A = this chain, B = another copy of it.
Amino acid sequence: MSEAAYVAVDWGTSSFRLWLMDRQDQVLAERRSGEGMTSASQTGFSTVLNMHLQAVQAGHSLPVIICGMAGARQGWVEAGYVDVPAPLSSVLKGAVPVNGESRDIRILPGIAQRSEDMPDVMRGEETQLLGSSQQGGSRLVCMPGTHSKWVSVAGETVKGFSSFMTGEVFEALSKHTILKHAMAEAQSFDGHHPAFVAALQAAHARPAMFTNLIFTCRSGQLLHGLDATAAAARLSGILIGTEMAGGLSIADRNTKIQLVASGKLQALYEAAFAALDLDFSTVDADLAVRKGLAAAAHSLFSVAHN
């Protein structure tokens, strides 16, 4: 086994992921847990990190690079924001050291868009952008999730971005409105479910009907016997279709679309882009965050590639 050179950590609101990496950026060991910011702010960030470092037998002098909510005001050490237009290299320069630890630990900043009418923030996604960087050209990056991000990138500079509360709104509507009756006992579905595809296309074509379309999950059940799984697929299609109409509007029509996602969301958004007849390329989100953390490690620590 090759020698460990640094440790990479993606520390989100509700999840913690750590990788022990060699100097060629190969993963030597991995840890995943639910000790995100919310949990770690109770236990102590240092305690959580050191426990996982011990578990992978990380040497005492190995440096650690962290991205995500650990750098939020309510996180471990506030890492602030780089403002748009933000060259991705400025994210590396804004890394903040964690004092009082025996090893070199740095937390990457987020990116902020301080415009008066479209204020927005990201924390963690900037590292995925760094790790999914392409040579030159413009791209519109779609990063689905609880708060999906759509990011307009020109070359190596983040021009602007918009968060869409797709995942969280799905949860709130399906659990805390009349729609819960239509969706009780829904089974899992995928992006090829006809109710998902039809709702996606309808919402993309008429996003102004959003709060009406969601009601059809209920009225469709009353009048047409729509089943619970189809109702859930319809709600998901409406939310993603509306998000896509909005996300696509922040860049020029011909900008290349890059999907940064993994797992179930990747499959769902790939099906959605296909249903809207849109060309896109996919980058695995897990790989992207690791590549971004690796780029930061090589820039900030004395880790040579060979």
With beta carbons under 8 angstroms apart, the residue of B112, B147, B178, B223 that contacts A215 is: B147
Find residues 194-240 in chain A having any chain B CB closer than 8 Å to their own CB. 198, 202, 206-212, 214-216, 219-220, 222-224, 239
Q: Count chain A residues whose beta carbon lies closer than 8 angstroms to a beta carbon of B.
A: 46
Closest residue of B by beta carbon distance from A116: B224
Binding site secondary structure of chain A: helix
Q: Which residues of B contact A220 (CB under 8 A)?
A: 119
Q: How far is the CA of A119 from the CA of B114 in the complex (A)?
A: 41
Q: How far is the CA of A123 from the CA of B178 in the complex (A)?
A: 16
Each complex incorporates copies of this chain amounting to 2
Q: Which residues of B contact A147 (CB under 8 A)?
A: 215
Q: How far is the CA of A119 from the CA of B120 in the complex (A)?
A: 36
Q: How far is the CA of A220 from the CA of B178 in the complex (A)?
A: 29
Binds B, one of A16-24, A92-100, A168-176: A168-176
Q: Is A127 in the interface zone, CB < 8 Å from B? A: no
Q: Is A105 in the interface zone, CB < 8 Å from B? A: no
What are the nearest 5 A-B pairs in CB distance? A208-B245, A207-B208, A208-B246, A119-B219, A164-B211
